[in-house]
Each structure stands twice: as C-alpha cells, then as structure tokens.
Amino acid sequence: MSSQSNSTDYDFKGLGFSKIGYFKEVRSKIKELELLNIELARRHNKLEAIINSMSSGLAILDNKLTIVFANQLQMSMFPEVSLVGQQCHKAFFRRVKTCKDCPALKTLESQETYRGEILIRGGAFAGRWYEWTTSPIMSPGGEVSEIVLLMRDITRRKEAEFKLLQADRMAAIGLLAAGIAHEINNPLTSIAGFSEGLLRRLSHLPGPGKDKRLESFREYLEIIFNEAYRCKDIIQNLLEYSRKSTDDTDVLRVDQIIKDTVSLVRQHAKNHKIRIIVKNGLAKGFNRVAGNESELKHLFLNVFNHAFRSMEGGGHLTIVSRTSGNMIEIDVHAQVSRGSASSREKIPDPSCSDIPSQTGEPMALSVCYSIMRHHRGDLRLESRASGEYSLVLRFPAAVN
C-alpha cells in the first residue's frame, strides 16, 4: 500500500515538473517574441527613416489607384491635401476622372516601369513641374498588387533650363543683329545723307517761301531725315540689348535703360493701339542702380511685353519711376481700354513657384524675378480695384 502511495506521489511530482518545464518554455518563447518585436520595431523605424529621408516623394497606390502610403516629403509637396485614402488623380490634380495616358494604369497593365515629367496646370499647385516614376510591386501570383510612385519637384530645374534656353536665344539674337546691322545701316546712312543734302540745297534756293510746294518738300525731308536717324538709334539699342551678358556690374542710369527699352517696343505698342506714358520722378543723382545693362534691358523688355499681352484691345501703359526711401521703384501699370476684355486671369504671381505653361509667358516673368533677385531687388504684382494690375520693380539705389 505504501509502495503504491509512493508511486502516486512521484506521478504528481512528474506532472508538476512537466508543467514547470512547459511554463519555462512558454516564457522563453515570449522572451524571443519580445526580442523579435523589438528588432522588428527597430527595423521598421530604420526603414521609415530611410523612406522619409529620400529626396523624392514616395507614394504607394493599390490597383484602384488609391494612395495607401505616402512618405513625409510626398505629403509636404501637397500640404493642403490628405493624400492617404484618395485616388491619385484627385489628390494631385484635382480631377474627377483618371488622367489621360495615366502611367500608373500602364504599369498595372504592362507590369513595366515608366518615367516622365508633368506640369500641374490647375488648382492650388498650378505651375509646378514634377518628375515621376511608376514601378510595379508584384504579388506571389505574378500580378501587380501595388504601384510605387516616385515624384520629385523639378520646378527650379525647369526654370534654370528655360534661362539657359533664353540665354541661347539672346546669343542667337546678338549674332543675327550683328550680322544684319551693317546691311541695314548702309541704306539708312544713304537715306539720311541724301535727305540732309536735299535740305541744304533747298536752303540755298532763292525765295523758297514763294513756292508752298517747296515748304512741303522741306517738311517731308526733315521727317525722312529724323526718322532715319531714329531707326539708327533703335538698331544701336538692339545691338546693346543683344550684347552677350556678363557677370560684370556697373552703376547705370535706370531711367535711361527704360527709355532705351521703350524705344524698342514703341512701334509694337502703336500697332496694337497701346499708348506708352513714361513718368520719371527720380531725383538727379538718385536714378542709378548697380547691375548688368543687358540683363536689365532683358528684364524691362519682358515686363513690357507681358503687360502688352494683357492689353489685347489697346490701352495705356504707364511707367512711373519714383524714389521710396533708399529704393528706386518702377511701377508698370497696364490700363485696359474700355470695351476690351481684361486679361487679369492670365497674370500669374511672378515667383519662381509659378511657372505654368508651354506658352513661356509666365516663365518669362519667372526669369524677370530671378534677374531682380540677382540685382538684390524685388518684383511683385499689385491688383487694382478696377481689375487692372501693376508690376512693381524695386531696386536698391546706387549712390555715386
């Protein structure tokens, strides 16, 4: 009996030992899981840090083009939009339908990577250029389950490319102007010379006042003579404007630069029923800026041409120069004629972030903005109550 009781005690002890061993094993597994969770969290944090430190915005789309993930840079590109949970065409482009030739759809269909560039034309992000890449994430079944969309803001690069293009065009204009200036000056010299000779002969004729026709001839010859020399001045201004720009700066009379640039566009303005009014309110000795003459003429030519585009039905372009503290302020005010439609909606903010379209017009304003920054100045757009606008240029005055 006692032996039977002892064997039962040993069985209970064995059961207890087995339970203790089991709990020890469970605790060991729990410890391993905790360590694995810590390692997974560490790796997750590391991966998240890598993704958020990328120089490109990253978004992951499902097969319905819904954004399921976006890194911090991608969200900072579109701060006014909650990206996750929205379809990409709604989040990025404010469109109801899928974009035409959508690269994400092409990646879904072909399982290939696509690259390209896109300009956002409407909405709060209008004027920005993005470089994009769409790549497939494959499922175990060999189908595209998700799409990786990489986006990089290349607006500034596009601006630099356009500036290089403008520089090439300016160089081409310079070569063209230098090539044809001699050919144009030759006939102008002949016209001016012969008209001057005829005027001298008329002055030696006896009693020119008796024949009214001779007075008409004198008037016509004087007009020919004056206009010929005006054309020579325009050509000279064009040559100066087309001269290759350098980084050298001089102390320049800004009112003279405005006058020279206006002479280049005056005929164009006349043809489009635009009257140019120049009001110089700068004090003597306080009309100079430190800058590059070629760049400043480029600046004013672009500003004037931009104003002309908003005055399709004619009007008045008023250019007012004045002093404001230690700054020189140039106010270019486009006043549209009555009965003609104002193009205020075409006028963008002349900042580097506003570079819309393939027309190049707003891009030209962006180049102007860059020139102003190079000259330590400021360019801003001011709206008027009448729906008109002014472009105001502010330069630090250079004191002799």
pLDDT averaged over every residue in the chain: 77
Identify the burial level of 397 via C-beta atoms within 10 angstroms of its C-beta, where 0-12 means exposed, 13-18 middle and 19 or more buried. buried
Which domain, by its residues, includes 211? Answer: 156-244
CATH number at residue 109: 3.30.450.20
**Pick from 152-161, 243-252, 292-301: least confident:** 243-252
pLDDT average, residue stretch 110-124: 81
Contact 287, 242 (CB under 8 A): no
Residues 69 and 96 in one domain: yes
Residues 160 and 219 in one domain: yes
Domain-ending residue, one of 136, 153, 170: 153
Residues 132 and 144 in one domain: yes
Which comes out higher in pLDDT, residue 203 or 242? 203
- Tally of CA atoms within 13 A in the half-sphere of 170 that contains its CB: 20
- Tally of CA atoms within 13 A in the half-sphere of 222 that contains its CB: 8
Residues 49 and 67 in one domain: no
The Cα–Cα gap between 9 and 12 comes to 5
Which comes out higher in pLDDT, residue 195 or 369? 195
Residues 41 and 63 in one domain: no
Residues 275 and 302 in one domain: yes
pLDDT at 331 over 90: yes
Residues 6 and 38 in one domain: yes
What's the pTM? Answer: 0.45
Residue 45 CB partners (closer than 8 Å, separation 6+): none
For residue 360, the model assigns a pLDDT of 42
Q: In which band, very low, low, confident or very high, does the pLDDT at 1 lie, cut at 50, 70 and 90?
A: very low
Q: Quickly count helices (H) and strands (E) in the chain.
A: 9, 12
Residue 94 CB partners (closer than 8 Å, separation 6+): 122, 123, 124
Contact 370, 294 (CB under 8 A): no
Residues of the chain above pLDDT 70, percent: 74
Structure tokens at 302: 């672009």
Structure tokens at 51: 């993704």
DSSP state of 380: E
Residues 387 and 357 in one domain: yes
For residue 325, the model assigns a pLDDT of 85
DSSP-assigned beta bridge partners for residue 276:
317
- In angstroms, the Cα distances linking 6 to 2, 15, 17 are 6, 14, 16
The Cα–Cα gap between 250 and 241 comes to 15
**Pick from 41-50, 90-99, 147-156: least confident:** 41-50
Domain-ending residue, one of 191, 209, 244: 244
Q: In which band, very low, low, confident or very high, does the pLDDT at 8 lie, cut at 50, 70 and 90?
A: very low
Q: Where are the beta strands (DSSP E) in the chain?
A: 57-62, 67-70, 114-119, 129-138, 144-153, 250-253, 274-280, 288-291, 315-324, 327-336, 378-383, 389-396
- Report the 10 Å Cβ neighbour count for 337: 15
The Cα–Cα gap between 122 and 94 comes to 8
pLDDT at 105 over 70: yes
CA-CA-CA-CA torsion sign (13, 19, 22, 24): negative
Which comes out higher in pLDDT, residue 11 or 133? 133
Residues of the chain above pLDDT 90, percent: 11
Residues 343 and 293 in one domain: yes
User: How many domains does the structure of the chain reveal?
Assistant: 4
Give residue-wise pLDDT tens across range 258-316.
998 898 888 888 888 899 999 999 887 888 999 888 788 888 988 888 888 888 778 88
* Displacement of CA 280 from its chain's centroid (Å): 30
pLDDT average, residue stretch 386-398: 83
Residues 280 and 372 in one domain: yes
Most confident segment among 20-24, 87-91, 394-398 = 394-398
pLDDT average, residue stretch 78-105: 84
pLDDT average, residue stretch 62-70: 89
Of 232, 303, 298, 305, the C-alpha closest to 272 is 305
**Pick from 42-51, 236-245, 324-333: least confident:** 236-245
Residues 227 and 273 in one domain: no
DSSP-assigned beta bridge partners for residue 323:
328
Residues 348 and 265 in one domain: yes
pLDDT average, residue stretch 4-20: 53
Helices 212-242 and 155-204: angle between axes, nearest 10 degrees: 150
**Pick from 98-112, 198-212, 262-276: least confident:** 198-212
DSSP state of 87: B
For residue 356, the model assigns a pLDDT of 36
The Cα–Cα gap between 263 and 305 comes to 13
For residue 350, the model assigns a pLDDT of 43
Give residue-wise pLDDT tens across range 347-365.
444 443 333 333 344 455 6
Domain-ending residue, one of 153, 168, 186: 153
**Pick from 4-8, 17-21, 174-178, 392-396: least confident:** 4-8
